[in-house]
Chains A and B, each alone.
Chain A
Amino acid sequence: MSKVYIALQDNDESRYIVEAIEESNPDATVIHQPAMIRIERENKLVIERSVVEEKMGREWDVQELHINLITLGGNVDEDDDQFVLEWKQ
């Protein structure tokens, strides 16, 4: 097993996304670094549109994630409802 990770710019919008990630992946690790937030988890991490929408209180397109995204590690699978990072080992 290896870790997948995602890093977001530290700004207001990202805070809601991070909250959503924590809800969807309860055992994910959130690390705050200067100007950025890094989230890692063993093997797989899911960002769900519905959860982000609930946190933000508005409609949210999964592709909006790219505006605040800094980097990631893992195979990406993106569709209308979720953004998944995964190692297939």
Chain B
Amino acid sequence: MTIEIKTAMLEPVRNTFAHIERRFGDKPATRYQEATYDVASEINFHYKPLWQPEFELNDKGRTAIVMKDWYAFKDPRQFYYGTYVQMRAKQQEVAESNYSFFEKRDLARLIPDTIQQKVIRLLVPLRHVEQAANLNNMYGSSLGYGTAITQALLYNGMDRLGNAQYLSRIGLILDGNSGDALAEAKRYWMDDAVWQGVRAYCEANICVEDWFESFVAQDVVLDGLIYELVYLQFDQWLADNGGQDFSMLTEFIQNWNKDTNRWVDAVVKIAVMESDANKQLLHQWVENWKGKAIEALAPLAQEMIGPDALNTAITALDTRLVKTGLLK
């Protein structure tokens, strides 16, 4: 029976869903498009949230950023769930083999104690920063508007949990799975003067109400500076001082950062291009949080690498922000 069916008879009636056709025309759509555009509800929400009766369940008003179309925030990586987990699964496979190689060969024993101590004091506590980033990205995902940006925030939120877990495993490698290094790192995070600025920054950002501002403070400003400072400069410093094998353990976060920055930069650029009002607001947020972040990171940068480290990181962040059109 099936064999007799002529191909002409099986011409589809339509190429894609109507809302996708309205945006992109009557042609076959990508899986990213069908999984993303106009999936979230727009109207008729029935009940006001008991926890925020001033808003609808899905409401554009939870940020001061204004967009004509919130689906303008196309993810340059075009991640929907399937492509997202498959990409991370590949990266984790590499990370897994790096971690087991490091553990099996007991590479930690080749690293001087002072360097190990420095890693426990200055690198491992970053797992708490990742934890803050997890909260801030989840915040945007749950209260933001339109699937294009909220799904990317969710992926980022989960990535940060993954990063926190990878950083924790560095501690476990150094303490032979006792958890002592993690406890020590947490004491530094709680009490050591070198971390208090960063911790105060994280706590302040977790309490920010505007989800887009929180994204700026975390993903744009703090992450932008930390990436440069820690995963490029400190990584190099470790390599120069007998800790080059740590690179195997931070490679996941380094690669993750490269792909994430493309998305972060795209979000800023799209919001800036939308209107002068957005641009001014973003500028104000960036300046405000950058000021705080520089102050917070200064002692850390000094201890990690030296006096010029933070300036190098600031220059790198500014260069990215110039490309987005936010800074001149």
Direct contact, A vs B (beta carbon within 8 Å): no
